[in-house]
Structure 1
Amino acid sequence: MFLGEHRHVLDEKGRLTIPARFREELGSPFILTRGLDGSLFAYPLGAWRTLERRLRSLPFTRKEVRAFTRLLFAGAVEVEPDRQGRINIPPNLAAYAGLTKNVVVVGVSARVEIWDEARWEAYVAEGEAKYTDLAESLIDLDLDEGWEDSGADIP
């Protein structure tokens, strides 16, 4: 599971150092693609294959399914960190995410997200103002289900 937020600087060649903890779980190579909300998503190969199977099961006759899968897969590349743990971010993906010099690498459960620092800070500021409302809106998803079997208390 990916957790936490790490701040990094793109080097003069546009390379990004992936935090060591994330590199281990991402494996090598891993998939980098367009994310949502102006970020990039990085997936271990196994998680990417699971996502691909789920998307393949959706009806391709639906316009929004075709559009989303085209953009997701067209932007996807296999990346392999070098010995220092750096990856090259393709120019089209860097432009999509608006990456400048300062970058935030965020662990989000089964994936890693890569954000331009200014965009991330704006997203967090907006999200924190709505955090309680967001949590309450998720009640319909039955997030409580399964906690009783885990031995953990519901937070």
Structure 2
Amino acid sequence: MPVRLAIAPSRRLLDVIRDDLALTGTKRSCEIGRCGACMVLIDGAPVNACLTMAYQCERRSITTIEGIADGGLHPVQRAFLEEGGFQCGYCTPGMVVSAAALLDARPNPSQAEIEEALSGNLCRCTGYGGIMRAVRRAAELRRGDG
């Protein structure tokens, strides 16, 4: 759904998403691009919303965690639930966004490709085992293997 906003050029995409559009699934955390909690898709590519100025998004497609699913759960969301891919859940929206972008580009990713795709997302709770299982499971779900 196209959105038109009149905003100051100094506004960050993260602030616009959370404060102006009230889409709070995109998390505010480190605010310096190191944790990935604020990950969104810009034209299908994962980007840290805390490092992106809103003016850079003019005429671009922005997808937040709220828009990742097209009705029901996205296969990545389902897999995170099935495989215990989260603990506190704070990093989960960014992880899901990054994993969804990976699977759009690489339907059958290798372990190395999964690790690379999630390298910009930090989790301080789970130890990554469940997250990795969830991404592999999501790939299976998307292929119809499960």
- Whether these two folds match at TM > 0.5 is no
Greater RCO (CA < 8 Å, at least 6 residues apart): 1
Q: Which has the larger radius of gyration?
A: 1
TM-score by length of 1: 0.26
